[in-house]
Amino acid sequence: MFETIFPANFDRAASPDPAPPFSDSLAALRERISPLGEFSKPPLGVVLGSGLGGLADSIDSPTVIPYREIPGLAASTAAGHRGEFIVGQLASRPIIAMAGRLHVYEGHSLQDVTRPVALMAGIGISQLVVSCAAGGLNPAFSVGDLVLINEHSSWLDGKLGAPPVAVPTTTPSPPERSVPDSFRRRLNTCAPELAQIAQRTARKHGFQLRHGMYLAVSGPNYETRAECRMMRNLGADLVGMSTVPEILCASSAGVQTLGVSVVTNLALPDAPITADHADVLDVCEQAADRLQQIVRAIATHGA
Ligand code: HPA
């Protein structure tokens, strides 16, 4: 029974081999994308969460780069996560997509989890849409709702540290400061420009886009009713096992970032419904079109 609940490597300590330096990973990704001409410097990135990888299939002229071909990138093992970068074009704009992400519950450190995002920042993206499945703690939400993450909190263990990519600053930091200013400035990681485009797109296409606070937990188990009650009392609208480290990594590197969750199940203390990963994937597939409309609109108008 445990095998079905826990990924095979759940109790694996972070790999005993130290990860190759970030610069090696970045050089390898650059080497793969530099022959791609106009697609070699995509300004827009997208992280496709559980069951949302379908958007990757609508990328034109795709070049697929499996994570395992980049030194220092761990393979993605969670169901519904393909574990590859896809570089190409969406709505006439170059884009790089992460089809599948890494999670702390797979045994990865926060640094490993965020390395693909740091790499996208390293090759020069300036905007990032991060999508994910989440449990809805807010009783006003329904299964299938799309929710813009306008605030977040993290209960993930560990420190993310400063991003390994150069952070653009207008004034040079004093030498004694080891953490970039942008890393301290976390009050609003949701880029208002991108949020506006997303809201406009929802209105135009006639679907509801809610907003709310996302709480990141390590999983892999879903929450108990007591935990759902506590999280809701603390002000969380959504609970999920990803996204916050990626949003922090990208926004700390100066990338405009927007997080969007699909409510795949209701995490309500008094609703005796338990979530199941297969249902989560199903609901995401149904939401994929709406998410795609948002990403397309950002590709078109976000420049
Ligand atoms: N809890 C945590 N993560 C999730 C959930 C949930 O209920 N649904 C989808 N991802």
Q: Distance between CA atoms of 32 and 64, rounded to whole angstroms?
A: 10
pLDDT score recorded for residue 9: 45
Q: What is the pLDDT of residues 190-230, one digit of tens each?
A: 899 999 999 999 999 999 999 999 999 998 888 999 999 99
Ligand 1 neighbour 275 (Cβ under 6 A): yes
> For this structure, is 241 an active site residue?
yes
- Assigned CATH for 2-12+20-164+179-301: 3.40.50.1580
157 C-alpha vs ligand 1 centroid, how far in Å? 18
Q: What is the pLDDT of residues 103-141, one digit of tens each?
A: 898 888 888 899 999 999 999 999 999 999 899 999 999
Ligand 1 neighbour 215 (Cβ under 6 A): no
pLDDT exceeds cutoff 80 at 178: no
Q: What are the domain boundaries of the chain?
A: 2-12+20-164+179-301
Split at pLDDT 50, 70, 90, the class of 10 is: very low
Q: Kindly give the residue spans of alpha helices, DSSP state H, lying in 9-157.
A: 22-33, 110-122
Q: What is the pLDDT of residues 77-100, one digit of tens each?
A: 666 557 899 999 998 899 999 998
pLDDT exceeds cutoff 80 at 290: yes
pLDDT exceeds cutoff 50 at 176: no
281 C-alpha vs ligand 1 centroid, how far in Å? 11
Q: Which residue has the tokens 């519950």?
A: 105
264 C-alpha vs ligand 1 centroid, how far in Å? 7
pLDDT score recorded for residue 131: 94
**Separation of CA 269 from chain center:** 26
Q: Given the residues 56, 76, 106, 261, select the one marked as catalytic.
A: 106
The residue that leads in pLDDT, 152 or 7, is 152
Ligand 1 neighbour 277 (Cβ under 6 A): no
Q: What is the pLDDT of residues 38-66, one digit of tens each?
A: 888 999 999 998 767 778 888 999 999 99
SS3 126: coil
Least confident window among 15-19, 193-197, 247-251, 264-268: 15-19
> For this structure, is 103 an active site residue?
yes
> For this structure, is 242 an active site residue?
yes
As to burial, measured by CB atoms within 10 angstroms (0-12 exposed, 13-18 middle, 19+ buried), residue 6 is: middle
> Residue with the nearest Cα to atom 10 of ligand 1?
134
